[in-house]
Chain A
Amino acid sequence: MSDLFLIAHIAGRAVAIESRQVESVVDIGAIVPVPGTDRQVRGLAALRSRVVTVIDTHAALGLPAPEIEATRAVITQVEGHHYAILVDSLEDVAPFDLTPLSPGIVLDRGWRTTGCGIVERAGEPILAIDLRALVPGLAAIAA
């Protein structure tokens, strides 16, 4: 059975995000830093009347900071809080079949916790990721 996936680019790689996790896709304006938090928390931003916590995806994945600050973000809601997950760019939304990671493939660094399978677009395998794994400070993430 196919599900809708949003194809985005993070750190130069294409990733697939299950559309059920995506509330909206926005351009983030001014970000107010939150001193004292983990590096993954880029800060707070206003989204209309809502305050969202902006997640620095590079930091969450354990990657070096990008040269150009990302301003696009995918909004997701986890445990009642809204998060803006920064992405480099967005492609399209299309139905794909999610298949498990092929045996033997071990993801590196932060990708390991967030990768949850593979979707195939015209022969090109794309890593499907779970946004919740990028959000720090959650009690426990269901496998």
Chain B
Amino acid sequence: MVTAHPRGPMDDLLQEFIAETRETLEALSGEIVAWEASPDDRDRLDAIFRFVHTVKGSCGFLDLPRLARLSHAAEDVLAAVRSGERHPDTQLVNAVLAIVDRIGEIVEAIDAGVPLDDTGEEMLITALEEGASVPTQAHTPIASRNPTRSVRLNVDLLDRMMSGMSDMVLARNELARRLRDDGADPTVEAALERLSLTVAEMRDTVTRTRMQKIDALFSALPRMVRDTAAELGKSVTLHVEGSDVELDREMIEMMRDPLVHIVRNAIDHGLEAPLERRALGKREAGRLTVSARQSGNQIIIEIADDGRGIDTDRLIAKIAGNGGRSAKELDALSDKAKLALVFEPGVSTKEAVTAISGRGVGMDVVRANVEQIGGRIELSNAPGKGLRLAIHVPLTLSIIATIGVGVGDQRFAISRQAIEEIVRVGGDAIRVDMLGGTPAATVRDRRMPLVDLGGLLDLSGDNASTMLVIVGVPGGSFALAVESVLDHEELVIKPAAPAVMATGVYAGQTLPDSGLPMLLLDCAGIASAAGLQFGTEVAVDEVAEEAQAPSVSALLFDDLDGARRLVPLTIIDRIEPVPVEAIRFSGGRLRLSVDGRIIPLAVQGEWDRRATVSVLRLRDGNAEVGYAIAEALDIVVLPDTVVPAKEAGPVAGVVSIDDEQIELLDLHWLFATHGAELGAAEPPVCLIDGAESAWMKTFLKPVLEGAGYRVATRLKPGEAAAVVLTMGGSETPPTGNVPVVRLRRDRAVGDSADTSIYRYDRDGLLAALAQSAGGR
């Protein structure tokens, strides 16, 4: 049977997948025939390979396991052909073509919503193997094609529609102006009002035919990331930012495949398995951030992970191993060029081939796709710490929320995304001063550089520039002084002519309803045109910050004996002040009562003369040990070099911090010595079982817990009961070696062989339990 039809938002994606696969198949049919004629033709091979690879990618994502299996099998074989391991003989070509056909059939079946028998698919896959016999393929006739609910339109047509729409808006504005001037009668005005409403609504609709929120691209990510991560046994936290950026639909469509490939690659190749991550001192859940933002005349889609990054040495070894260029030649490349090797066809640093991203083939396809739309990919690699991949796509068309500002006679638009706030100069809180020859703005407690837009653009107005637009740019913020702040508008931004863009201060042009063209300012461009310098780039800071993460932080404290000691921060659950009354020497050792529990306490020095002590609550899994200290001082980075202590004890060794010798607590010793009792301290479990467990739970639980048992009605995995309590004649469940104590309802004993206990005989019950549970 064909996989269950996904519902809801996935329906759209499925429809798109069907339309796209169908389209590619049609385009591919020529290639297939040509490949059949000359199997050595590399271009044809690549085209077919890309097709199955794309299908495979989409399938995993749409939950179509049958298609995924077929395309994965075909991809494997084609990869072998690409790498020269297999020769494309007739039998192989036929087998691949049979699979391509089958993919087409399944897609049609999904679309028609009819079931398709999956017999024979196993054979198709087997036929790919070397030396397999050619199967006789049983074609299943498919019900006639379902008419799709979506149509594909030529972009030119949409563009004509859009510009026609804008013309209509301008004509309406003109008409309204004329009518107002002539003092039209109310009925005409009412009709115009109705026309205006319709036109506005219509414009919105028409714009939507061309534009789409990038959310359309991002909304599928959470599901895809979850599924991919689950499949690979990884744990991933996804952050999506900037989903409300609106983009040309065409661009969104073109970005879909590259994004899917990159995200899969990041999870598969980039992020490590949870255990490995923990060993590396990273959070178990890998972090994957996908963001979109508009920057100047570009949209930047960034995919960043905190995984292992790209190991260029391994990459080089791999490429050199494939023949072609020598390792020496590759070693001589610049770091950037080395990194760019990931875009070479058929390269992967991963040994194992998986159903997720295969063998890195994605990346050459990804780059080809991005370059096709005039974009480029930038990699910033931090080996061991992550990879940041930025796709820059030209802003052909986008809707941007803007604020209009005025200087002199002219109006400009500023992207609202860049604006932090808008303030008016006045009072002490917001002022502009000259520092030497440089103006600076003080906005409440922030001081920042000031750029006078009129001065920068050589536009002088009659009014003073008293409005400050605080804009954020990479690295910092600055105040842009303008004469007036006008309205807020959503504008369709198009790129301006090269001569205009060359100034570096504009991001694009637009035609608002006024009918006068307007320029969108590029705030980052203005900052650099004005010569503003912000410290190192944010990106660099972040990397540096992440570089700190794997090092071990430790708490520096003064111990009760006056020594200064260190303990790794990760082991500390919390630090809290405790009155010394909570500490007792009981049961042969120091114990601390806290939160209604008793935990073992380790102490070095005198504690009983103080009113309170601070306790470090150290936790390792279930085991908890308290460690009393005088005062917590600081959090420091634990130096790499630890001089071991002379003998085993509470101190593991000595480290040097600011030339001071500081003892490092031996966690292993602490838990081995003080935590060992914890197992024994666990209360024995009394399992309530059988028909009357509700009564027993209600009536007996407090009694049993008071006597030191933990009462359970069901055992957790790996837990063993010390004793099982049942009542009445109910069947005793198989308990293995665990003793059973049986209660009875009536005071009178039924017969002499009855060893049960009357249910209100408290002492008898507890005695019986204690005896059974091992003399407690």
B691 interfacial contact with A, CB 8 Å? no
CB-based contact A81/B498 at 8 Å: yes
B494 interfacial contact with A, CB 8 Å? yes
| Docked CA distance A76–B509 (Å) | 18
Q: B residues within 8 A CB of A49? A: 162-167, 170, 511
B502 interfacial contact with A, CB 8 Å? yes
A61 interfacial contact with B, CB 8 Å? no
CB-based contact A137/B502 at 8 Å: yes
CB-based contact A32/B500 at 8 Å: no
Q: Which of B510-543 contact A (CB under 8 A)?
A: 510-511, 515-519, 529
Q: A residues within 8 A CB of B495? A: 81
| Docked CA distance A44–B503 (Å) | 14
B499 interfacial contact with A, CB 8 Å? yes
CB distance from A41 to the nearest CB of B (A): 5
CB-based contact A46/B497 at 8 Å: no
A135 interfacial contact with B, CB 8 Å? yes
CB-based contact B518/A32 at 8 Å: yes
B188 interfacial contact with A, CB 8 Å? no
B459 interfacial contact with A, CB 8 Å? yes
Q: Which of B694-750 contact A (CB under 8 A)?
A: none
Q: Which of A7-46 contact B (CB under 8 A)?
A: 30, 32-38, 40-41, 44-46
Instruction: Please tell me which one of the listed residues B167, B458, B509 contacts residue A44 in the complex, with CB atoms under 8 A apart.
Output: B509
Q: A residues within 8 A CB of B753? A: none
Q: Which of B432-475 contact A (CB under 8 A)?
A: 456-459
CB distance from B220 to the nearest CB of A (A): 31
B506 interfacial contact with A, CB 8 Å? yes
| Docked CA distance A40–B500 (Å) | 11
Given the known interface contacts A37-B503, A45-B517, A49-B511, the answer about A137 and B163 at a Cβ–Cβ threshold of 8 Å is no
A5 interfacial contact with B, CB 8 Å? no
CB distance from A76 to the nearest CB of B (A): 12
Instruction: Please tell me which one of the listed residues A35, A40, A51 contacts residue B517 in the complex, with CB atoms under 8 A apart.
Output: A51
Interface size on A, residues (CB 8 A): 26
Given the known interface contacts A41-B500, A53-B496, A53-B500, the answer about A46 and B457 at a Cβ–Cβ threshold of 8 Å is no
CB-based contact B499/A137 at 8 Å: yes
CB distance from A24 to the nearest CB of B (A): 14
CB distance from A29 to the nearest CB of B (A): 8
CB-based contact A46/B517 at 8 Å: yes
Q: Which of B143-178 contact A (CB under 8 A)?
A: 162-167, 170
B554 interfacial contact with A, CB 8 Å? no
CB distance from B200 to the nearest CB of A (A): 16
CB distance from B16 to the nearest CB of A (A): 28
| Docked CA distance A38–B497 (Å) | 12
CB-based contact A136/B499 at 8 Å: yes
B198 interfacial contact with A, CB 8 Å? no
CB distance from A99 to the nearest CB of B (A): 32
A138 interfacial contact with B, CB 8 Å? yes
Q: B residues within 8 A CB of A41? A: 497, 499-500
Which of A53, A79, A83, A135 has the most B CB atoms < 10 Å from its CB? A53
Q: A residues within 8 A CB of B167? A: 48-49
| Docked CA distance A136–B501 (Å) | 11
B548 interfacial contact with A, CB 8 Å? no
CB-based contact A35/B498 at 8 Å: no
Q: Which of A44-59 contact B (CB under 8 A)?
A: 44-46, 48-51, 53
Given the known interface contacts A44-B509, A49-B166, the answer about A34 and B516 at a Cβ–Cβ threshold of 8 Å is no
CB-based contact B517/A37 at 8 Å: no
CB-based contact A32/B498 at 8 Å: no
Interface size on B, residues (CB 8 A): 33
CB distance from B406 to the nearest CB of A (A): 13
CB distance from B462 to the nearest CB of A (A): 17
| Docked CA distance A136–B499 (Å) | 6
Return the chain B residue nearest A78 by Cβ: B497
Q: A residues within 8 A CB of B319? A: none
Instruction: Please tell me which one of the listed residues A30, A35, A137 contacts residue B497 in the complex, with CB atoms under 8 A apart.
Output: A137
| Docked CA distance A20–B509 (Å) | 27
Given the known interface contacts A51-B509, A51-B510, the answer about A32 and B517 at a Cβ–Cβ threshold of 8 Å is yes
Instruction: Please tell me which one of the listed residues B162, B164, B458, B501 contacts residue A35 in the complex, with CB atoms under 8 A apart.
Output: B458
Q: B residues within 8 A CB of A30? A: 516
Q: Mark B416-429, 1 if CB is under 8 A from A, else 0.
A: 00000000000000
Return the chain B residue nearest A138 by Cβ: B498
| Docked CA distance A51–B519 (Å) | 10
| Docked CA distance A37–B102 (Å) | 59
B410 interfacial contact with A, CB 8 Å? yes
Q: A residues within 8 A CB of B501? A: 137
Return the chain A residue nearest B498 by Cβ: A137
Instruction: Please tell me which one of the listed residues B499, B503, B511 contacts residue A135 in the complex, with CB atoms under 8 A apart.
Output: B499
Q: A residues within 8 A CB of B456? A: 36
Which of B165, B167, B499, B509 has the most A CB atoms < 10 Å from its CB? B499
CB-based contact A36/B505 at 8 Å: yes
| Docked CA distance A2–B330 (Å) | 57
Given the known interface contacts A32-B410, A48-B170, A49-B170, the answer about A37 and B519 at a Cβ–Cβ threshold of 8 Å is no
Return the chain B residue nearest A80 by Cβ: B495
| Docked CA distance A36–B606 (Å) | 76
CB distance from B261 to the nearest CB of A (A): 29
Q: B residues within 8 A CB of A34? A: 496, 500, 503, 506, 519
Q: B residues within 8 A CB of A48? A: 163, 166-167, 170
CB distance from B452 to the nearest CB of A (A): 13
Instruction: Please tell me which one of the listed residues B170, B498, B505, B511 contacts residue A51 in the complex, with CB atoms under 8 A apart.
Output: B511
Q: Which of A77-93 contact B (CB under 8 A)?
A: 79, 81, 83
Given the known interface contacts A32-B410, A41-B499, A136-B499, the answer about A51 and B494 at a Cβ–Cβ threshold of 8 Å is yes
Q: A residues within 8 A CB of B515? A: 46
Q: Mark A120-143, 1 if CB is under 8 A from B, else 0.
A: 000000000000000111110000
Q: A residues within 8 A CB of B164? A: 49
CB-based contact B511/A46 at 8 Å: yes
- List 19 additional contacts besides A37-B499, A50-B163; criterion CB under 8 Å: A32-B410, A32-B519, A35-B457, A36-B456, A41-B497, A44-B500, A45-B517, A46-B511, A46-B515, A48-B166, A48-B167, A49-B164, A49-B167, A49-B511, A50-B511, A51-B509, A51-B510, A53-B499, A137-B500
Give the interface of B toward A (CB within 8 A): 162-167, 170, 410, 456-459, 494-503, 505-506, 509-511, 515-519, 529
A-B contact pairs, 20 of them (CB 8 A): A34-B496, A34-B506, A35-B457, A36-B457, A37-B502, A44-B496, A44-B500, A46-B511, A46-B517, A48-B163, A49-B164, A49-B511, A50-B163, A53-B496, A53-B497, A53-B499, A79-B498, A81-B497, A137-B499, A139-B498
* 6 closest residue pairs by CB, A with B: A49-B166, A137-B499, A35-B457, A137-B498, A44-B517, A36-B503
Give the interface of A toward B (CB within 8 A): 30, 32-38, 40-41, 44-46, 48-51, 53, 79, 81, 83, 135-139
